Amino acid sequence: MTRAFAWIYLAVALGFIFLPVGMLVLFSFQDGRLPVPPFNGPSLRWYADVLGDRRLMSALGNSLIVAAVSSAIALLLGFLAAQALARYRLPGTLLMRVVLIAPFTVSYLIIALGLLTLYNRTGIGLSLWTAGVGHVVINLPLCFAILYAAIGDHHRNAERAARDLGASEVKVLALVTAPMLMPSMLAAFFLSFTFSWDEFIIAFLLTRFDVTLPVEIWSLLRSGLTPRANAVGSLVFLVSVSLLLLLELTVFRKVRR
Amino acid sequence: MARAHDNRQGWGLVAPALIWTTAFFVVPFLMMLALSFAKMEGRSVVTGFFPDNYIRIFTEPSLLRGLVVSLEITVTVTVISMVLAYPLAWIIAFRVPERWQRLVLILTILPFWTSYVVRSYSWLLVLGQNGVINKTLMTLGVISEPISMSASRFATVTGFVHFFVMLLTLTIYANLKELSPNYARAAQDLGAGRLATFRHVILPLTLPGLMTGAFLTLVLCIGDYITPQILGGNNELTLPQLIMMQLGRRGDFPMASAMAVVLMGIVTLAYLFSARWLRIDRL
Amino acid sequence: MTAAPVSAFRKSISLSLLAATALTAAAPATIAPAFAQSQELNALVWCDHTDPELVQPFEEEHDVRVNLREYEGTAAGLAILEQSRPGDWDVLVIDAVDVGRAVDLGIMAALPADELPTGDFFPELVMEDLNTRDGTTYAVTEKFGYNTIAYNKAAVDPADMTNFETLFSGKYDGRIAIYDYYLPVLGMLSLSEGIDTGDLDAEALETLREPLFDLRARSSQVSEVVASQTALATGEVDILVGGGEWLTAVLASENADLDWTIPEQGGVLWAQSIGVLESSENKDLATEFVKYIVSPEGQARLATSSCYWGMPANAAAGDVLTDEEKTVLRWDDQPDFLTRVQRYPVPDAELDTAMQDLWTDMLQQ
């Protein structure tokens, strides 16, 4: 591959990747009711509109809560399971690993339908939390896999030392293992958080009134063509990206050293 | 190490995760499997062991077509995404100077963080009759009439490829960076040309990563409802769209379950096919 | 997987760090603090009811939170209700022609007919035959409109649109979109074949297959509300079969060229009814909600709600709506329109399945 071709390819690829986002953001500033060309000039009315929208804002709140809680549960369960399978020689370890990873290889739609069947049969009413359960199911394999891969022998030695000094198993996990795995724990948590936060089909099928942001955006899209959708999308994107860059420049710069 | 006392603790640690996965994944799936053998009579579900739904999926042209459409789209998307992502990852890994690589990589996958639902919608703004592409081409005088691009399989595939190029660039990049440059150097020292080095050394070494990426693409693509729903213009229906139609319009849960089981079957087949390259089971 | 995705994920982990921390910190502030109301009302509705401007005045007046959930087709709505527990739902919005199906299932509660302003309604919209059974009123019509032909008059000869047959002439091939709801579109086709929508049965349905597939072949897409609007507004298509004021009104201020008409073959009248559910544990408040919706103020807000516009069933809403709004709704033409349209077909479960099968076949053609 020649040098020039490589740079051209890179430029074109980046153009392709940024094209839709660029349009999205541009037409979120549209002064008019239709987010399509021609661009009528900048206006912030749709941002004001979105920020003042009760349904969107409560959906945002719901999304954050579900993402935080479901990721925390997935992290805790994943951490314990990874610890167990990495440390103890349990019979059927391979089978357990397969079972724990399995949800990761299945479409979300299938997980959602399965849970819907379960809830219908057992008479559990749909709510934000029934969707949250689904989010734990999809994120548990991820947390487990990341932490399982991260646990190494040097952790084991530190744990043994702590045990020899008389620390209880709970204390060892909480005060020795968890802190040593902190970068991976953080990674697992935030990755789960983003997956849950942006997840649509499980939240769509398993919530009733208190919906999450992607579901609310979906009904916004279905109910009419409006730059509001652009404004919401741009806001989510801009907030995500600025935090991402902030974290990249602070936390991870340190971690890599 | 393997003392009985220790093992009890081990079981205690793994139990919560196993119970959760069993109760909210395995059991629901089995219930759905059972429901897929029920059937609708009028408006009520008759439980039992009826193969009716499956027979319909594989014999009714419109339903079978959904299966075919899903497979065609998924294969197209997977192939195109890999072909586009590999050179991109390669360029970032070997052409971009080391100190800029991370920045370029972040840029490449930045739009990942657009809301998933909104991402497809924004392609409508690009591909539409009055979208940027048409507007630009017409201003440049390349075309005189707008080309019809949205509401088609082309639009669906474009939306998917956009997403998976980002995902695959990431996985392939990681894979390429793990390669020791010594392999390539050694091959070249032994007289292999660049192309031969790539074909016989680098490609085989990155194959597991590539296959894992392809498998992920397949799973995510074939089960996706939003992208074809927003971009496809209902000109053809994929399996997930048919499933949502059973739920949303007909209230036919048994049929939706049967279709989901078929979807699951396809993913399993794809898994078995690619298992020898995948590393999922080696975790 | 240890190698590729996970390490890829881990390398990109910083990327995933995202919004999380700061957003989590911001969460408590965004969780609407205003919902301290004592009572809740759960309504299964169509998207036009989710406009805050419609619901908020009622919530404030009665100190109640109205929870709304949208649904698509009657079959799906009834499925949701069947899978719920008693008390889950209080209010139901449903196709007027399907009220009977709901009554058959025993899920509708009686409404106090004397407290409903049906005396002020457009007479055709009282729809006693649908909303009432054996002298008991189970639902009340709230909104109506037409599924006909919407078009862009800058790109289409309006004279052509007065005849449904023009769509099959080849002149507009590839510039047509079909609204993705089987009942009204099959109703329109049935009218163009000279079959009254009320006479549509399994046998008659088969005669629609060919024209439906023909129309499909001449269309570039079959789309839901938003995609239809986008397509018309952006010039993707110039004609929408099944469209009407519900589609063009929202865009009227933006593109004055969007218009609609009822062809000489006739159009289909859509009407939605609202009622209280038998299993509701809060029937009084639910009834109050229904009364609010059919009051002149509620009707005016519903008519112009953000999802789609439509005529209010209660003609007294005319005193509340502005002249501009009435012009967009074509208030003065209603008596004429109403004589030229027929109601939705009313299929039983079997025919409904047959219709949906036909529709799926058409989509997958």
- Taking CA–CA distances from A219, the nearest residue in chain C reads C47
Residues contacting A235, CB < 8 A, separation 6+: A47, A50
pLDDT at B5: 58
> What are the pLDDT digits (tens) for C255-273?
788 889 999 999 999 999 9
Question: Vertex A200, ends A215 and B104: CA angle to 5°?
Answer: 115
pLDDT at A68: 94
HEC assignment per residue over B137-200? HHHCCCCCCCCCCCCCHHHHHHHHHHHHHHHHHHHHHHHHHHCCHHHHHHHHHCCCCHHHHHHH
Instruction: Choose the weakest-confidence range: B199-203, C138-142, C295-299.
Output: B199-203
Single-letter code of the amino acid located at C293: I
Q: Are A84 and B13 in contact (CB under 8 A)?
A: yes
Rounded to 5 degrees, φ, ψ at B64 are: -60, -35
pLDDT at C5: 41
pLDDT at C33: 38
CA distances from B88 to A185, B74, C8 (A): 30, 21, 15
Instruction: Choose the weakest-confidence range: A217-221, B22-26, B145-149.
Output: B145-149
Q: Are C219 and C232 in contact (CB under 8 A)?
A: no
Confidence of residue A12 (pLDDT cuts 50, 70, 90): very high
pLDDT at C12: 37
Give the Cβ contact number of residue B27 at 10 Å.
15
d(CA C299, CA C142): 7
d(CA A210, CA C32): 12
Chosen for mutation from A9, A90, A105, A211 (greatest number of chain B CBs closer than 10 Å) is A105
> What are the pLDDT digits (tens) for A59-94?
999 999 999 999 999 999 999 999 999 888 888 888
B138: contact with A, CB 8 A cutoff = no
Q: What is the pTM of this model?
A: 0.86
Fold of the CATH domain C145-269+343-363: D-Maltodextrin-Binding Protein; domain 2 (3.40.190)
Q: How many CA atoms lie within 13 A of B227 on its CB side?
A: 25
pLDDT at B184: 67
Q: What percent of chain B has pLDDT over 90?
A: 42
Give the gap in angstroms from C-alpha A184 to the nearest C-alpha of chain B. Answer: 16
Domain-wise residue ranges, chain A: 36-256
C12, C180, C364 member nearest B170 (Cβ): C12
- The CATH number of whichever domain residue B257 belongs to comes to 1.10.3720.10
> What are the pLDDT digits (tens) for B119-171?
988 898 888 777 778 888 888 888 887 787 878 899 999 999 999 999 899 88
Q: What is the mean pLDDT of residues A95-120?
A: 92
- Interstrand relation of C39-45 and C91-95 (parallel, antiparallel or unpaired): parallel
Residues C30, A61: C-beta atoms closer than 8 Å? yes
Mean pLDDT (chain A, rounded): 87
d(CA B179, CA B174): 9
pLDDT at A250: 67
CA distances from B49 to A12, B36, B40, C353 (A): 55, 9, 12, 22
B130: contact with C, CB 8 A cutoff = yes
> What are the pLDDT digits (tens) for C69-114?
888 778 888 888 887 888 889 999 999 999 998 999 999 999 999 9
Residues B32, A114: C-beta atoms closer than 8 Å? yes
Helix, coil or strand: residue C222: strand
C250: contact with A, CB 8 A cutoff = yes
Residues C234, B128: C-beta atoms closer than 8 Å? yes
pLDDT at A37: 74
Does B217 map to a domain? Answer: yes
pLDDT at C14: 35
pLDDT at B73: 97
pLDDT reading at C15 higher than 60:
no
Tell me which DSSP letter residue C34 carries.
T
Sign of CA dihedral B198, B202, B204, B208: negative
Q: What is the mean pLDDT of residues B56-78?
A: 94
> What are the pLDDT digits (tens) for C20-39?
333 333 443 334 334 444 68
Residues of chain C neighbouring A64 (CB-CB closer than 8 A): 23-24, 26-27, 30
Q: How many CA atoms lie within 13 A of A205 on its CB side?
A: 30
Confidence of residue C331 (pLDDT cuts 50, 70, 90): very high
Instruction: Choose the weakest-confidence range: A147-156, A166-175, A248-257, B272-281.
Output: A248-257
Q: In the structure encoding, which two tokens stand for residue C256, read together?
A: 């004055």
> What's the farthest any 2 CA atoms get from each other in chain B?
79
Mean pLDDT (chain B, rounded): 87
Confidence of residue C6 (pLDDT cuts 50, 70, 90): very low
Range of the domain at B272: 85-282
Rounded to 5 degrees, φ, ψ at C222 are: -120, 115
Please indicate whether residue A54 or residue C91 has the higher confidence score (pLDDT): C91
Q: In the structure encoding, which two tokens stand for residue C355, read together?
A: 């219709």
Nearest to C250 by CA among C300, C297, C310, C299: C310
The beta strand positions in C50-157, using DSSP E, are 64-70, 91-95, 132-133, 136-137, 140-152
pLDDT reading at B281 higher than 60:
no
Q: In the structure encoding, which two tokens stand for residue B62, read together?
A: 């419109």
Cis peptide bond upstream of A38, omega within 30: yes
Nearest to A43 by CA among A227, A225, A234, A242: A227
pLDDT reading at B82 higher than 70:
yes
Please classify residue A236 by burial: count the beta carbons closer than 10 Å to its beta carbon, then call 0-12 exposed, 13-18 middle and 19+ buried. buried
Helix, coil or strand: residue A107: coil
C94: contact with B, CB 8 A cutoff = no
> What are the pLDDT digits (tens) for C39-78?
899 999 998 898 889 999 999 999 999 999 888 778 888 8
Residues A140, B2: C-beta atoms closer than 8 Å? no
Q: Are C138 and C99 in contact (CB under 8 A)?
A: yes
Q: Are A80 and A72 in contact (CB under 8 A)?
A: no
Give the gap in angstroms from C-alpha B108 to the nearest C-alpha of chain A. Answer: 6
C1, C68, C85 member nearest A125 (Cβ): C85
Which residue's entry shows tokens 């099968």?
A: C357
pLDDT at B113: 81
Give the gap in angstroms from C-alpha C338 to the nearest C-alpha of chain B. Answer: 28
pLDDT reading at A3 higher than 60:
yes
- Across the B:C interface, residue pairs with CB atoms under 8 Å apart total 136
Domain count, chain B: 1
Question: In DSSP terms, which residues pair with C272 in a beta bridge?
Answer: C95, C143
pLDDT at A29: 92
Q: What percent of chain A has pLDDT over 90?
A: 42
> What are the pLDDT digits (tens) for A147-169?
988 887 777 788 888 888 888 87
Identify the CATH class of A36-256.
mainly alpha
pLDDT at A1: 55
d(CA A200, CA A216): 10
**How much is the ipTM here?**
0.88
Which stretch of DSSP H or E encloses residue A150? helix A128-150
> What are the pLDDT digits (tens) for C247-258?
888 777 777 888
Residues contacting C231, CB < 8 A, separation 6+: B151, C177, C220, C221, C223, C237, C240
Q: Which of residues 34-73 of C touch A (CB under 8 A)?
A: 34-35, 42, 47, 50, 52, 67-70
pLDDT reading at B242 higher than 70:
yes
Nearest to C351 by CA among C169, C246, C203: C203
Residues of chain A neighbouring B215 (CB-CB closer than 8 A): 105
pLDDT at B15: 94
Q: Where in chain C is the domain with CATH 3.40.190.10?
A: 39-144+270-333, 145-269+343-363
Q: Does domain C39-144+270-333 have CATH number 3.40.190.10?
A: yes
Residues contacting C28, CB < 8 A, separation 6+: none
Question: In DSSP terms, which residues pair with C91 in a beta bridge?
Answer: C43, C276
pLDDT reading at C13 higher than 80:
no
Chosen for mutation from B29, B73, B172 (greatest number of chain A CBs closer than 10 Å) is B29
pLDDT reading at A113 higher than 80:
yes
Q: How many CA atoms lie within 13 A of A79 on its CB side?
A: 22
> What are the pLDDT digits (tens) for C173-207?
989 999 998 999 999 999 999 999 989 999 999 99
Q: Are C221 and B234 in contact (CB under 8 A)?
A: yes
Residues A81, B118: C-beta atoms closer than 8 Å? no
Confidence of residue C18 (pLDDT cuts 50, 70, 90): very low
pLDDT reading at C148 higher than 80:
yes
Question: Vertex A232, ends A228 and A233: CA angle to 5°?
Answer: 115
A55, A60, A149 member nearest C6 (Cβ): A149
Question: Vertex C190, ends C189 and C193: CA angle to 5°?
Answer: 90
Confidence of residue A252 (pLDDT cuts 50, 70, 90): low
